[in-house]
């Protein structure tokens, strides 16, 4: 036992130094009035942040984006996996096409999407063929459509591969029983396959949720510190606070964001545990 513990000590030290200690510093900054004076103010920073109109706007836009993009990423990637599960022509090429965004650098992705959705870009030229007016996509109320499309384009391929692996691991005897019971394709999927996909669905939803908070990189590179209103998300708020050296509000916002993430992750694992037990007991 002691020898086993010695093997994990280096990892524990790394976790404490690079994760535990920085998080403790963030918690400390969120509870004081100034990094130099260090006067304890309790929840005053949290109250000020939650009453800040910029934070409220950023939080609302972040929630809206995740609420739309994450379910779409899960459902569409599952549908693609189901389609590719069948022996369709060009299956390998189709799969490679959806995986290609993972190999493209972020800077190249941003450049491509700026060209596509520029006021004089390709998308507006195509829409103009059908008589539609030009749209300044990244400076209009349709800006979130561009970012959701970019998010899906980047993440569908990876999620699709995970679902394809999960579908291939469904017990063949269960599928055989469904065929003997004359179950159609929808019934087989709903009553058999979906039950064995519960853990993968939760994992894909969790990864998509995490990736939805990383979309700030693309938004920032395309629009800068202060994007169009609908693209202003929590990371913009925190980044601007960091640039202004406002560590108290930055730390309080980071803690609030972490609490929300923990609640969402706990909810996902609770759902997965419920369906996982159902599969184990079947």
Q: pLDDT-derived band of residue 75, with 50, 70 and 90 as boundaries?
A: very high
What gap in Å lies between CA 195 and CA 278, rounded to an integer?
A: 8
Map tokens 């970012």 to a residue: 147
For residue range 221-252, what is the model confidence (pLDDT) as tens digits? 888 777 878 888 888 888 888 888 888 888 99
As a whole number, mean pLDDT of residues 260-272 equals: 83
Radius of gyration of the chain (CA): 23
- The residue that leads in pLDDT, 103 or 27, is 27
| CA angle 233–72–259, rounded 5-degree value | 45
pLDDT at 282: 53
Q: Which pTM was predicted? A: 0.83
- Residue 182 scores a pLDDT above 80: no
- Residue 199 scores a pLDDT above 90: no
- Residue 90 scores a pLDDT above 70: no
Task: Domains for the chain: give ranges and CATH numbers.
Answer: 52-280 (1.10.3720.10)
As a whole number, mean pLDDT of residues 92-112 equals: 78
Beta bridge pairs of residue 40: 32
- Residue 277 scores a pLDDT above 60: no
What gap in Å lies between CA 68 and CA 152, rounded to an integer?
A: 11
């Amino acid at each position: 036992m002691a020898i086993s513990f010695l093997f994990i000590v280096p990892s524990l030290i790394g976790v404490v130094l690079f994760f535990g200690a920085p998080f403790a510093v963030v918690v400390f900054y969120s509870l004081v009035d100034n990094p130099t004076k260090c006067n304890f103010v309790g929840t005053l920073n949290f109250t000020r942040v939650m009453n800040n109109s910029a934070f409220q706007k950023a939080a609302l836009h972040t929630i809206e984006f995740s609420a739309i993009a994450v379910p779409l990423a899960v459902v569409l990637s599952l549908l693609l996996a189901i389609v590719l599960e069948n022996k369709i022509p060009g299956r390998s090429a189709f799969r490679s096409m959806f995986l290609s965004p993972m190999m493209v650098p972020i800077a190249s992705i941003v450049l491509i999407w700026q060209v596509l959705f520029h006021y004089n870009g390709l998308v507006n030229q195509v829409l103009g063929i059908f008589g539609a007016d030009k749209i300044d996509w990244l400076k209009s109320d349709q800006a979130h459509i561009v970012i959701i499309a970019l998010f899906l384009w980047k993440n569908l391929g990876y999620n699709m591969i995970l679902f394809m692996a999960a579908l291939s691991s469904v017990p063949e005897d269960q599928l055989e029983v469904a065929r003997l019971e004359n179950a159609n394709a929808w019934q087989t999927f709903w009553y058999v396959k979906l039950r064995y996909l519960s853990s993968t669905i939760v994992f894909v939803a969790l990864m998509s949720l995490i990736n939805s908070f990383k979309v700030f990189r693309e938004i920032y590179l395309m629009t800068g510190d202060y994007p169009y209103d609908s693209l202003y998300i929590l990371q913009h708020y925190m980044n601007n606070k960091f640039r202004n050296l406002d560590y108290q509000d930055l730390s309080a916002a980071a803690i609030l964001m972490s609490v929300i993430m923990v609640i969402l992750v706990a909810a996902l694992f609770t759902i997965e545990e419920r369906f996982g037990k159902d599969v184990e007991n079947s």
